[in-house]
Amino acid sequence: MRMILTGNESAAWGARLSRPKVIAAYPITPQTSIIETIAAFIANGEMDARYIRVESEHSAMAACIAAQNTGVRTYTATSAHGLALMHEVLMWASGARLPIVMSVVNRAMAPPWSVWTDQLDTMAERDSGWIQVYTQNNQEVLDSIIMSYKIAEKHNILMPTMVIEDAFILSHTSEGVDVPDQKDVDDFLGEYNPAFKLDPDEPAGFGSLIMPEGPYMEFRYKMALAMEEARKEIKKVVEEYNEKFNRNYSPFIEEYRTEDADAVMVVLGTIGSTAKDVVDRMREKGKKVGVARVRYFRPFPMDEMRALAKKTDMIGVVDRSYSFGPGADLYAETKSVLYGHANIPVKNYVMGLGGRDITPQILEKVFNDMLTIAKEGVVDREVEWVGLQGDERWS
Amino acid sequence: MKKLTIPEEEYMLSGHTACLGCGATIAMRYVLKALGKNTILSIPACCWAVIPGVYPHRNLEVPLLYTAFEVTGAAISGIREALDALGKEDVNVVGFAGDGGTADIGLQALSAAAERGHNVFYIMYDNEAYMNTGIQRSGSTPMGAWTTTTPGGKKRMYKWEPKKNVAEIMVAHHIPYVATATIAYPEDMISKLRRAKEIKGPKFFQILSPCPTGWRYSPDKTVEVSRLAVQTNIFPLYEVINGKYKISIKPKNPKPVKEYLRLQGRFRHLTEEEIAMIQKHVDENWKALLKKERCSQEEE
């Protein structure tokens, strides 16, 4: 069914179609309309789920952990400070191998207060043991939630998943979305089949104390193996979903006009659609540029990134967040996986923090900078902040 | 009163790792005897996160979810809702948390769970300090006590603030059942748990669980200390059913609180004046409790 939905309504529909039995809800801008839409679904009898109106995001995740450990599918949604408040229990969810699916609407961290898009909130949780998938449009928001349950719940994976959307650009913007039939989603997902659960008939303890010589390290190693295994399952599930629901997702990296590109821009989220538009315009002028939109940040697409680097002479990585290390996260990861595999210049462009607009004009200037580097083979500055007030170069 | 028999079934097996004379261990044993096999436990960081044993050993015969420190209220909410969604409404869901995890770091999640009205038990086993980390002051530490973060010293830096009254905080949430209990009175504790089991909604228990390690008394005196807490009125036993107070034990001639304090090394520094001040608090609280009982019953 074709509907006009915002990103947050699409997330709510993705959750509704996946039939979670317990939902924990706590408001935070710009996520709130997800849990409001779900509340309306439940209030109207369109969705059959227990809806726990918790008093904090920390409790939202804790309630999901406990419910999922009792043997049901769960869902929650958050953003920025809410995600940061969950930090402790995010690690609990992954360590407990509970395939919870959560929507995260990317929002800047205060101070100063900002409710607009910025990816620092999810980047700060990259080591929490969650699969992270970034989306580009409302259709992908909805579809990714359904696919994420399927991937996360496989007994060889059992890793929780964040489905990430940009604040306002997606969360509050309406688009045409194809909403799958419930029956088709039911066929695709199947009933939730927990690998283990709290059950008085088979009493077990979950999460007890463990000594250094006990298998703590082995449990962590198994998580690492599961994350590796997830690469295979993501590919399988995305292909199956494409086939069944007539979609065209690339599992890990969506490449656009990269085949003969002199320079490729690597991005996350909605920057991808703007960049693709700019690529078309520049191609008309004979400038050979392309875009690679990374969908999965965890697990990070190593092989795909290395293959991409073989097609081009230069990679420019756009980050909508900053890490106080050797550049921002997407850049650092990209450069790290290319080390020893590709000897091309890689440059980091930091932009759009706190929701500052990333316009086609700015991206065109960045592409031109990238083409100069591709031609000369030298990176002037490894990390460059783009679009600062008063900076003539990018305005 | 009809004679009550303590169930013979054991759901807490031997081989736990608690200190000698641990009151919290006795509390768990009675709680499980009263509630039975069809029970799921949720335990945060506290002594009981360690007492069941080190992986893969476990001395409890019921399923157990270990959780982060502050989440017991949220965790039991999640378990309850999941069970109800699965049609397993007959399973008891029990949060079993220490006083730090209840009165301090877990109070927010507990308050929210109580307000939402989930059908759960929350049991605060009150050993009056952060005992698992080694005797640090909590909001539930009583007036005058020594702990490692109220160590006295030249400035007599003890815990001078009154003990936070979590049972009364829970009464203020208008939940259907609130009770205090202690391990020296197992029949009282078990009959309260059985009564609570018949009530749908949040049920809160504060079980005074003496701790020889932290309270500084000989491990063979745990039951004696627990009994004296009731007989001196420093820890009265009562229940509040739908807002109606009923005091379980009214000592005919309450013993001076000094007898309770002098058994424990954590109070050994107290002067006669300080003991008199604590006695005054105990008397006032007892009178207030009697009033609450009278008032809430007059409302009938």
Q: What is the 3-state secondary structure (H, E, C) of A219-246?
A: HHHHHHHHHHHHHHHHHHHHHHHHHHHC
Count, residues in chain A? 395
Burial (CB count <10 Å: 0-12, 13-18, 19+), residue A385: middle
**How close A134 comes to chain B (CA, Å)?**
28
The parent domain of residue A301 ranges over 253-385
Mean pLDDT of A32-39: 98
Domain membership of residue B237 (yes or no) is: yes
- Per residue in A196-211, pLDDT tens? 999 999 999 999 999 9
Task: Tell me what pLDDT residue A270 has.
Answer: 98
Confidence at A326, pLDDT banded by 50, 70, 90: confident
Residue A82's contacts (CB-CB under 8 Å, 6 or more residues apart) are A26, A28, A31, A57, A60
Asked whether A264 and A291 are in contact (CB, 8 A), the reply is yes
Mean pLDDT of A127-132: 98
Query: Is residue A56 less than 8 Å (CB to CB) from chain B?
Result: yes
ipTM of the complex, rounded to two decimals: 0.96
Q: Which DSSP state fits A354?
A: G
Asked whether A311 and A264 are in contact (CB, 8 A), the reply is yes
Helix (H) or strand (E) holding A267: strand A263-268
Task: Tell me what pLDDT residue B299 has.
Answer: 62
Number of A–B residue contacts, CB under 8 Å: 149
Query: Is residue B39 less than 8 Å (CB to CB) from chain A?
Result: yes
Task: Tell me what pLDDT residue A393 has.
Answer: 87
| Same domain membership, residue A171 and residue A59 | yes
Asked whether B143 and B161 are in contact (CB, 8 A), the reply is yes
Task: Tell me what pLDDT residue B5 has.
Answer: 83
| Same domain membership, residue A216 and residue A316 | no
Residues of chain B positioned with their CB less than 8 A from the CB of A198: 40, 63-65, 79
Task: Tell me what pLDDT residue B297 has.
Answer: 87
Domain membership of residue B42 (yes or no) is: yes
- Per residue in A141-185, pLDDT tens? 999 999 999 999 999 999 999 999 999 999 999 999 999 999 999
| Cα A329 to Cα A345: distance, rounded to the nearest angstrom | 17
Question: Domain boundary at A212, A245, A278, which?
Answer: A245
pTM of the prediction?
0.97
Q: Test A207 with B67 for CB contact under 8 angstroms.
A: yes
- Per residue in A235-261, pLDDT tens? 999 999 999 999 999 999 999 999 999
Task: Decide if pLDDT at B3 tops 90.
Answer: no
A276-to-A179, A256, A294 alpha-carbon distances in Å: 25, 7, 13
Ranges of beta strands (E only) in A16-155 are 22-24, 50-52, 74-79, 101-106, 131-134
- Closest to B23 in 3D by CA, of B231, B234, B223, B238: B223
Query: Is residue A72 less than 8 Å (CB to CB) from chain B?
Result: yes
Q: Test A55 with B39 for CB contact under 8 angstroms.
A: no
Mean pLDDT of B73-78: 98
User: Going edge to edge, which strands form the sheet with A315-319?
Assistant: A253-256, A289-294, A263-268, A315-319, A346-350, A383-385
Confidence at B20, pLDDT banded by 50, 70, 90: very high
| Same domain membership, residue A227 and residue A300 | no
Domain membership of residue A393 (yes or no) is: no
Average pLDDT, chain B: 97
Q: What are phi and psi of A11, to 5 degrees?
A: -65, -45
The parent domain of residue B60 ranges over 23-298
- Report the alpha-carbon angle B76-B133-A210, nearest 5: 70
Task: Tell me what pLDDT residue A325 has.
Answer: 87
Please state the domain count of chain A. 2
Instruction: Write the CATH number for B49.
Output: 3.40.50.970
| Same domain membership, residue A269 and residue A235 | no
Please state the domain count of chain B. 1
Mean pLDDT of B6-21: 95
- Per residue in B213-244, pLDDT tens? 999 999 999 999 999 999 999 999 999 999 99
Q: Which of B38, B78, B86 sits opposite A52 (nearest CB)?
A: B78
**How close B295 comes to chain A (CA, Å)?**
33
Residues of chain B positioned with their CB less than 8 A from the CB of A209: 49-50, 53-55
Domain membership of residue A390 (yes or no) is: no
Task: Decide if pLDDT at B1 tops 60.
Answer: no
Q: Which DSSP state fits B244?
A: E
| Same domain membership, residue A223 and residue A271 | no
Question: Domain boundary at A245, A280, A310, which?
Answer: A245
